[in-house]
Amino acid sequence: MARHADTIAEQLEELILSDAFSDGDRLDEVQLAKRFGVSRTPVREAIQRLALSGLVDLRPRRGAFVHQPDAVELMEMFEVMAELEATCARLAAQRITDDALAKLQAANQACEDAVAAGDADGYYRANEGFHHILYAQSGNRFLETETLRLKNRLKPYRRMQLRLRGRMAQSLSEHSAIVDALIAADGPRAADAVRDHVAVQGEKFHRLMATLQAAE
Amino acid sequence: MARHADTIAEQLEELILSDAFSDGDRLDEVQLAKRFGVSRTPVREAIQRLALSGLVDLRPRRGAFVHQPDAVELMEMFEVMAELEATCARLAAQRITDDALAKLQAANQACEDAVAAGDADGYYRANEGFHHILYAQSGNRFLETETLRLKNRLKPYRRMQLRLRGRMAQSLSEHSAIVDALIAADGPRAADAVRDHVAVQGEKFHRLMATLQAAE
DNA sequence: GTCAACGTTTTTGTATACAAGAAATGCCCG
DNA sequence: CGGGCATTTCTTGTATACAAAAACGTTGAC
């Protein structure tokens, strides 16, 4: 619908996710309009969109206030993320095609190669590919879309997770467990494997909390 | 943020969900503005919001087109709904309080009473109460909110489901199975019980398909 | 008769103007 | 000196005006 409003929504989202605003900050329409060199109208449209995805709270006749999730909310979102991915896996175990299974194994191999090469960025991309194949093979486009939406929302908090020493190697063996369960067409086992893989627990949990503290 | 835009978004949502528009219809801004007795501005804001919830597709420089889910999409959404509720149950099995468990049993009893009295509306309310307790007892507010959101989105398609002969009696025994699993703190069993309870399968599936055909 | 190109007409997207409600300021009174 | 109330200022919400892009119809050529 919008040409400017589109790009402004994106830029504004970037700004909020990159912590340029802190929790509770009011988004001043005229200020943002000036900043982007447009009028208030497209800025308001952009804010409307961000409100629906939960990045800002809209208080009638008061304005828009950025909403940065606290530790509890984050854990809740990660928990739902793990469940959504586990569901993808459970369904994929029944529905995955041989072709996609081959692609999944290839993606897993790419992960291993990246780890062997010490290529963190490469691992990130290959890992993303692995997971996206899983979402698609749930055979449920709605589920796929929703999962991607939440994944995207969690992206900025995600990158801090995987830099743990030895985490990548463990991640690889978890991938293999997932693939095995899919080969066996064992839905519940696949779901459990994915849930364990994605869940934020143990050392990951402490690391996340520490990073959140530091951000304040 | 909006006073008019709020109410317009609600009314427009009502209109779309109540099938006043069919799939692919263009939402004419000036026409809607006249209809609601306002200018284009609040109408546009309302449309923006509906776009995010998937009720309308926004095509840049073209306009807003209502998007009515087809049979496949509906099944996908119901499948995700079943999974979200199952997740609520799985988590609730670990986290539910004794107090809430008592309330759940009371809600179930209210369902039974309504069935005994042949009170369809009463059953609807009691059943809704039962499920909402479950969402809340997942102990995950984010999950609770998302589940409610999807439930609301599916509401218009839901009412056609439960009027099947003998369906209410079966529903009651399913409720009992859920409660039993929660009492036993058996997460996986609670999840399965809820999934079976919510899933659209068998006769429910055929009925849904038939109703969709009739709507076209 | 068909198709393409041009001009007209809608319609969307943005800017600006205006109205109304909320916050801020200062003033008066206790 | 402090608290409550009125006024002023600022901000949101809505209406209108304008610009640009897309749909539409017409005309003309092949």
The pLDDT-based confidence of A204 (bands split at 50, 70, 90) is: confident
A80-124: pLDDT as tens digits: 999 999 999 999 999 999 999 999 999 999 999 998 888 888 988
A62 lies in the same domain as A110: no
CB B167 within 8 A of CB B111: no
What pLDDT score does B8 carry?
96
A86 lies in the same domain as A164: yes
Q: Do B44 and A45 touch (CB under 8 A)?
A: yes
| Cα-only R_g, chain A | 20
CA distance A161 to A78: 12
Best residue in B8, B39, B83, B141 for a mutation probing chain A (most A CBs within 10 Å): B83
Which one of A18, A39, A66 terminates a domain?
A: A66
Which sign does the torsion angle of CA A73, A52, A62, B141 carry?
negative
The stretch A154-164 carries a mean pLDDT of 72
Tell me the two tokens of residue B1: 């943020």
A104 lies in the same domain as A61: no
In degrees rounded to 5, what are phi and psi of residue B150? -65, -40
Residue whose entry in the numeric block shows the structure tokens 């659209």: B200
Interface of A with B in 95-124 (CB under 8 A): none
Beta strands (DSSP E) in B32-139 are 56-59, 63-66
Q: Do B60 and A6 touch (CB under 8 A)?
A: yes
The stretch A72-77 carries a mean pLDDT of 94
What pLDDT score does B157 carry?
84
B19 lies in the same domain as B46: yes
B122 lies in the same domain as B147: yes
Among chain B residues 66-125, those with CB within 7 Å of any atom of strand C: none
Among chain A residues 31-90, those with CB within 7 Å of any atom of strand D: 40-41, 44, 58, 60-64
Which one of A48, A66, A84 terminates a domain?
A: A66
The pLDDT-based confidence of A165 (bands split at 50, 70, 90) is: low
A85 lies in the same domain as A150: yes
A51 lies in the same domain as A79: no
Nearest residue to A152 (alpha-carbon basis) of A94, A77, A101: A77
Is any atom of strand D within 7 angstroms of residue A1's beta carbon?
no
CA distance A60 to A46: 16
In degrees rounded to 5, what are phi and psi of residue A66? -70, 145
Number of structural domains found in chain B: 2
Domain that holds residue B110: 71-215
CATH classification of the domain holding A94? 1.20.120.530
Count other C-beta atoms under 10 Å from residue B138's C-beta.
27
What pLDDT score does A158 carry?
80
Q: Do B3 and A45 touch (CB under 8 A)?
A: no
CATH classification of the domain holding A27? 1.10.10.10
Percent of chain B scoring above 90 in pLDDT = 74
What pLDDT score does A167 carry?
77
What pLDDT score does A14 carry?
93
How high does pLDDT run on average in chain A? 91
Is any atom of strand D within 7 angstroms of residue B62's beta carbon?
yes
A110 lies in the same domain as A24: no
A29-53: pLDDT as tens digits: 999 999 999 999 999 999 999 998 8
Q: Is some CB atom of chain A closer than 8 A to the CB atom of B49?
A: yes
Q: Is some CB atom of chain B closer than 8 A to the CB atom of A87?
A: yes
B96 lies in the same domain as B135: yes
CA distance B125 to B148: 15
Among chain B residues 10-29, those with CB within 7 Å of any atom of strand C: 26-29
For B79, which of A59, A83, A140 is closest by C-beta distance? A140
Q: Is the pLDDT of residue A28 over 80?
A: yes
Could you give the strand order of the β-sheet that contains B63-66, starting from the edge strand earlier in sequence? B26-27, B63-66, B56-59
Amino acid at A194: V
Nucleotides of C under 7 A from a protein CB: 11-17, 21-23
B30 lies in the same domain as B107: no
What pLDDT score does B1 carry?
47
| Cα-only R_g, chain B | 20
Three-state SS at A39:
coil
Q: Is the pLDDT of residue A216 over 60?
A: no
Low-confidence residues of chain B: pLDDT under 70: 1-2, 159-165, 212-216
With vertex at residue A125, the alpha carbon angle to CA A121 and CA A126, rounded to the nearest 5 degrees, is 115
A11 lies in the same domain as A31: yes
What pLDDT score does A162 carry?
57
Which one of A14, A45, A66 terminates a domain?
A: A66
A36 lies in the same domain as A129: no
A121-157: pLDDT as tens digits: 898 899 999 999 999 999 999 999 999 999 999 988 8
